[in-house]
Amino acid sequence: MAVRLSGIPVAREMRGRIQAGVEQLHQIGQIPTMGIVRVGARPEDISYETGATKLAQSRSPGPCSRVTWGSGSSWKCFGR
């Protein structure tokens, strides 16, 4: 008998843990940050970066900085 595995429950739990950690950091006056460095422009990499960017922006009150260099390379930092 086959069992279907889904990453959705795992992702939800991870997001919940991360959100709890973010709240704990805010309580002690720390502002959490996230950085993404992408080299190249493969569609799957851009898709991952876009998803991570949207998630971080929805959970962080801080601004987003972006630096782009070369062909399709970028750097982003949230929560600064």
At 24, which amino acid appears?
Answer: Q
| CB atoms inside a 10 Å sphere around CB 76 | 19
CA-CA distance, 33 to 50, in Å (whole number)? 17
At 35-76, the pLDDT tens digits run 778 887 788 988 988 888 787 777 766 666 666 666 666 666
> Helices 43-59 and 8-27 sit at what angle, rounded to 10 degrees?
40
Q: Is the pLDDT of residue 80 over 50?
A: no
pTM comes to 0.57
